[in-house]
Structure 1
């Protein structure tokens, strides 16, 4: 591989004592194409001795200004690239070996890299390598704010032809800004090629007043208020197969609270036959909500795939909303909603809100705007109090088409993607900073902040943010108002799923609930989060019963067993067509655990389903989660030899836990003395037997 030549410019500035260290660090680099120029305003005291040991030339610049020093040094440099070194900055070991790919594998004009820090004789290296990112006019400002390395020439590697055209009369920050302004190819590498000596000088501070390059956001547009807002509410949802399974609560609550006709556009790229069938069933149930599947094109999908946002965890489907103006050419406005929302009151007033001369309407993200040390103020500075959550967006599609905003916004996101903390939400806030109407916060009430937001009557609850505050996850004990809305969502979900498709009742046999309060709460959560729409809980009286009754809703029946009731008595009292056993502290791992088990039982007319599990082992305050590999598939046990059955599967099940049984199997069983014996009778009597190799519940052991 051809290596580009580098000229190192060492500016002594009266610190001759550091010169041997610099020269030695350059000599030790495994990089043959270098030259070293020592720039000094006064003769060097030990020049002859140094030149015997190291190869370098001296440039004497007596009386020259700092700018002139740099210009003279650059005129003398013969390398393709130059690198600036000062008393505060030096090369780390193997630096040039690391920098070679940057110079040879990328068409690059300048390399900026993170400093290792030297303090009190100790080096501190930043351990996380984030790769190579391109710096441009739109993202430069945020790199500059976040990284002191953008404020000093020290340690920069710049193409010599460009370096010679910079104005060195300005500050270092301004000099480097010239490179970006000239649209040079500047890359930021989070690896560490140079160190900064904090004992000599602190890292340079950010000078915001000196910045001339700011992101090219959308200017204030001269928009006229809309003449007519349609009576039909147009909603935009973006879905894939995963999201499609979670749209029922939002759509059901939307139809229940809103009297106007609602046209709901489901934007997707690919959906399975099962997802499309579910959409059809759901659409048949909803009376005033019309579902309109809207497929994005291949080239639009490829365009969105080019996004590569650091710190972004959203699936690609979340970005379909960027194409709203193109996908819905006959609409002049649309209301985008995130899937993880629940509508609590009519949105008719929201829909009729006049945006005036704005392109979008959105609600403040109070978790950020209420705190001046938060990310929103770092991103938007003095306008940080206007930072909004992008889970609800009222789009002026007419304006977006007229001013070709979609194309401009996508270009902006692609240019700035690596500087965001919260993905395209930050991009929306930044790009539309001059064109956003703030809507009442009640229309996007974040569950994680609901107990601090002082919103008495939330119109829309948004289950975003913390993963443990999702209705389909087991949550920790939290404020009562949060538990209320978590369980409201779950109840709505079970209710509509039960109305869309009739399912047989499943009785969960739970002879004993855990005594430990944390384990008991976790167990209750795992039951309440189940999406299966027809459940009967057969449980003994305990402290948890009141909580279960208050939050179960109509689709979970609670059947209290008499104190000391036997397992046979509990089975006999079950009203379900199927029984599922999950005793003691053991709990469901996933919200759709029972749904998956029942799908297998119904699709294959199974009498018996054995299920895979993980093992949670408690060791004092620590817990360990163990489990073998799983295939996520199922096995027909009748196709296995009896020896294989026992060795690979049945042997694992020494109790009834995790077992789904058609109730007819236990209707005529003889009385048994042990659970193991009952299990053996059920297994022997079952005709259609399956093993589901998917960890759907967790066994808790001490």
Structure 2
């Protein structure tokens, strides 16, 4: 059996001392000594144990708690030591026995047992799996403890420590937190277990949370990057900055819809030549073809697809992504390997796919990194005290990883990447925000913080102060600009940012004229009110990913409310055309709109009806081109607002050729009355030529004429639009 020294440092707080001591004396494991260090004379305690050789009582009121701790360690004779706060106690008589057994089984020199909290008569605890943890993982747990009040990582109390570890400690005049850190750094096997053997007592509203120790030499540095930066500054390191800007976009097929717009925004706003390095593992032939097409169309931008190796991809698969709150795709982790992926590039700007450049990237490219490994912008969540951050105590240094400037030369010179990967593999499951948290920890004090205008978050939790000109928009979280904001966004400013993105999206499409978007679609939407329902209908059209479109708004409202509201939208989105019916017959205005439309195809919608997915126009267009059809029909779903209920007629998502069906059959057999109205169909505009009078009042009769003229008719049995029935 190994001997255990149990140490109680009363430190003048001796109210619970008897209970604390009794919990030790009743232990089933008997090979222990109990050392109680008091700061004041306690005759009752001394008399009680004067004949007990297992218990040693010392009184010294002249030294601080750190020196008292050193004194008791010197006196201790146990192979293992455990400290107990005089307010606390061991949970049951087998607490020591369980800890010693674990130390033998796991050959552990440091056993950290999760604490049980006793507050106002109630016990609380967390479930913890027993595991051997690395020093990096210990530090991550220790830092997390200051968010989650896990006391076992903030003090020595309740931890079983091999005595030999104290021989590696040079300075005992340290807070317990830093002393524990030093012990862990020297330990061979650190064991974290959920025994809940130690009870931490909080009386009334007492707060025993220990504050994180910051200050020079005491920071939570997980690497030596900060010291290298200090060295770079002393040596006045000045990197050469090439004239051609290097940009990295790390992608997979899921974000290809954003590539054209982002690259176009770089092309439109940047005064320098730019190499855009597309980092990927697998992309479809269509995605690669589109990137090549974009490269041809943008003269000052060179788009270079760079496929990562299988070996590198496997390295990233070791990262524990399962606990990533946001379920980041593995492609988002490619950025940490840019120094290896692009060995001939000395500096690079990394951009998330959901960003939009509105300023000149040259300014960011020439930023002086001041010897740091990277530059980044403060994360907007850092402004919010209620938001928990991995750097809560230094929240104003927590950066967002969506826009980064890397000094790749420094990363290679000091062989940073392999060490960082090992750290990330070890600790990734402890983070809320994946490698963003890990980057913040590993490069703490090795980052140049940029003006927030270079990574302006949409939505903004707090309006940034001092940001005059926004140079780069970043569409955080759910606010993706190719989704309709009308379902979940009430902030008009956010909607303006989304409209700005769609303006760029439209301009990019016009510039590149990529295949399958050569056919222009004219959408005619009739507004019957100026309320939010209309803007939801309009939004469902404007957020369609199909770029080559025009939206013709027919204002059938009775006043100027819609005209006033829609003005800014029309100014921002040039593909929206507005017609004020102004008391005229809507039917006549609709005829006028058809005649003035510039599209090859026509689509009709009446508000408050709406399209329910952002890919629908593109898919209908694909079906039309593939089948050389004259019209393509989709199925509607009915929404009853008063009941908040949807109803449908059954779908199978199949593409069906209905060309052989009679007009009578088409207009009677489908329960949704699909072929009695114009909504829900994509028409070849030629069908409307030579029809004579376009009687929009009787859509059933008009549809019969169109069906008779259409030779090839296709149907997509999918719920692609919603009819709202009040």
Q: Fold conserved (TM > 0.5)?
A: yes
Determine the structure 2 residue equivalent to 1:148: 151
How far apart are the structure 2 equivalents of 1:435 and 1:641?
A: 70
8 Å CA contact 2:527, 2:534 repeated in 1 = no
Q: 1:136 to 1:658 in 2, by over 3 A?
A: farther
How far apart are the structure 2 equivalents of 1:493 and 1:687?
A: 32
8 Å CA contact 1:249, 1:493 repeated in 2 = yes
Q: 1:312 to 1:16 in 2, by over 3 A?
A: same
How far apart are the structure 2 equivalents of 1:544 and 1:84?
A: 71
Determine the structure 1 residue equivalent to 2:459: 448
2:260 equivalent among 238, 248, 258: 248
8 Å CA contact 1:530, 1:593 repeated in 2 = yes
8 Å CA contact 1:255, 1:289 repeated in 2 = yes
2:248 equivalent among 228, 232, 236: 236
Determine the structure 2 residue equivalent to 1:198: 202
The Cα shift of 1:269 comes to 0.8
Q: 1:160 to 1:109 in 2, by over 3 A?
A: closer
Task: Provide the secondary structure at the position in 1 that maps to 2:277.
Answer: strand
How far apart are the structure 1 equivalents of 2:108 and 2:678?
A: 65
8 Å CA contact 1:265, 1:292 repeated in 2 = yes
How far apart are the structure 1 equivalents of 2:213 and 2:648?
A: 53
The Cα shift of 1:286 comes to 0.8
Q: 1:171 to 1:292 in 2, by over 3 A?
A: closer
Farther-moved stretch of structure 1 (463-472 vs 339-348): 463-472
How far apart are the structure 2 equivalents of 1:681 and 1:356?
A: 72
Determine the structure 1 residue equivalent to 2:683: 661
How far apart are the structure 2 equivalents of 1:519 and 1:340?
A: 27
The Cα shift of 1:298 comes to 0.7
How far apart are the structure 2 equivalents of 1:39 and 1:657?
A: 86
The Cα shift of 1:185 comes to 4.0
How is 1:415-430 mapped onto 2 (pairs within 5 angstroms)? 415-430=426-441
For residues 176-195 of structure 1, give each alpha carbon's deviation from its aligned partner in whole angstroms, at most 9, with x where no partner exists.
Answer: 44552224444657897876
8 Å CA contact 1:115, 1:196 repeated in 2 = yes
How far apart are the structure 1 equivalents of 2:140 and 2:339?
A: 25
Determine the structure 1 residue equivalent to 2:539: 525
For residues 582-621 of structure 1, give each alpha carbon's deviation from its aligned partner in whole angstroms, at most 9, with x where no partner exists.
Answer: 332233334333223322332333444444566655468x
Task: Provide the secondary structure at the position in 2 that maps to 1:391.
Answer: strand
Q: 1:116 to 1:348 in 2, by over 3 A?
A: same
8 Å CA contact 1:10, 1:37 repeated in 2 = no
How far apart are the structure 2 equivalents of 1:206 and 1:129?
A: 23
Q: 1:114 to 1:254 in 2, by over 3 A?
A: same
How far apart are the structure 1 equivalents of 2:673 and 2:197?
A: 57
Does residue 180 (structure 1) correspond to residue 184 (structure 2)? The answer is yes
For residues 674-697 of structure 1, give each alpha carbon's deviation from its aligned partner in whole angstroms, at most 9, with x where no partner exists.
Answer: 66776688678663323253x554
How is 1:351-366 mapped onto 2 (pairs within 5 angstroms)? 351-365=365-379
For residues 13-62 of structure 1, give each alpha carbon's deviation from its aligned partner in whole angstroms, at most 9, with x where no partner exists.
Answer: 967779999999x9xxxxxxx8688987899xxxxxxxxxxxxxx99525
How far apart are the structure 2 equivalents of 1:105 and 1:692?
A: 63
How far apart are the structure 2 equivalents of 1:551 and 1:264?
A: 31
How far apart are the structure 2 equivalents of 1:90 and 1:616?
A: 62
How far apart are the structure 2 equivalents of 1:626 and 1:359?
A: 56
8 Å CA contact 1:140, 1:180 repeated in 2 = no
TM-score (norm 1): 0.75
Q: 1:358 to 1:403 in 2, by over 3 A?
A: same
How far apart are the structure 2 equivalents of 1:117 and 1:264?
A: 54
How is 1:199-348 mapped onto 2 (pairs within 5 angstroms)? 199=203, 203-206=208-211, 208=213, 214-218=221-225, 219=227, 220=229, 221-222=231-232, 224-226=236-238, 228-308=240-320, 310-348=324-362
For residues 302-341 of structure 1, give each alpha carbon's deviation from its aligned partner in whole angstroms, at most 9, with x where no partner exists.
Answer: 1122223643543222221222222222222222222222
How is 1:579-590 mapped onto 2 (pairs within 5 angstroms)? 579-590=602-613
8 Å CA contact 1:116, 1:123 repeated in 2 = yes
For residues 78-129 of structure 1, give each alpha carbon's deviation from its aligned partner in whole angstroms, at most 9, with x where no partner exists.
Answer: xxx999898746669xx99x99xx9999997766565564444445566x99
Determine the structure 1 residue equivalent to 2:590: 570
How is 1:379-528 mapped onto 2 (pairs within 5 angstroms)? 379=392, 381=394, 384-449=395-460, 451-458=463-470, 460-468=471-479, 470-475=481-486, 480-500=492-512, 501=514, 502-514=517-529, 517-528=531-542
Determine the structure 2 residue equivalent to 1:689: 714
8 Å CA contact 2:142, 2:154 repeated in 1 = no
8 Å CA contact 1:75, 1:164 repeated in 2 = no
Q: 1:522 to 1:73 in 2, by over 3 A?
A: farther
Does residue 539 (structure 1) correspond to residue 533 (structure 2)? The answer is no
Q: 1:163 to 1:328 in 2, by over 3 A?
A: closer
The Cα shift of 1:214 comes to 4.2
8 Å CA contact 1:238, 1:317 repeated in 2 = yes
For residues 260-280 of structure 1, give each alpha carbon's deviation from its aligned partner in whole angstroms, at most 9, with x where no partner exists.
Answer: 222111111110111111111
For residues 610-656 of structure 1, give each alpha carbon's deviation from its aligned partner in whole angstroms, at most 9, with x where no partner exists.
Answer: 44566655468xx567889988x5432559999xx99xx94356665
Task: Provide the secondary structure at the position in 1 that maps to 2:618.
Answer: helix
Q: 1:311 to 1:106 in 2, by over 3 A?
A: farther
Task: Give unpaired runs (5+ residues) of structure 2.
Answer: 37-43, 46-51, 60-67
Q: 1:312 to 1:129 in 2, by over 3 A?
A: farther
Q: 1:256 to 1:213 in 2, by over 3 A?
A: closer
For residues 344-366 of structure 1, give each alpha carbon's deviation from its aligned partner in whole angstroms, at most 9, with x where no partner exists.
Answer: 2322233233434333233344x
Determine the structure 1 residue equivalent to 2:569: 551
For residues 114-146 of structure 1, give each alpha carbon's deviation from its aligned partner in whole angstroms, at most 9, with x where no partner exists.
Answer: 5564444445566x9999794624425413433
The Cα shift of 1:441 comes to 3.7
8 Å CA contact 1:464, 1:470 repeated in 2 = yes
How far apart are the structure 2 equivalents of 1:376 and 1:610?
A: 50
Root-mean-square deviation (CA, aligned residues, Å) is: 5.4
How far apart are the structure 2 equivalents of 1:437 and 1:677?
A: 68
8 Å CA contact 1:609, 1:690 repeated in 2 = yes
Q: 1:331 to 1:677 in 2, by over 3 A?
A: same
8 Å CA contact 2:659, 2:712 repeated in 1 = no
Q: 1:115 to 1:377 in 2, by over 3 A?
A: closer
Task: Provide the secondary structure at the position in 1 that maps to 2:621.
Answer: helix
Task: Provide the secondary structure at the position in 2 that maps to 1:544.
Answer: helix
How far apart are the structure 2 equivalents of 1:630 and 1:203?
A: 61
Q: 1:240 to 1:213 in 2, by over 3 A?
A: closer
The Cα shift of 1:291 comes to 0.6
8 Å CA contact 2:485, 2:495 repeated in 1 = no
8 Å CA contact 1:252, 1:496 repeated in 2 = yes
How far apart are the structure 2 equivalents of 1:217 and 1:629?
A: 62
8 Å CA contact 2:458, 2:479 repeated in 1 = no
Task: Give unpaired runs (5+ residues) of structure 1.
Answer: 27-33, 44-57
The Cα shift of 1:577 comes to 3.4
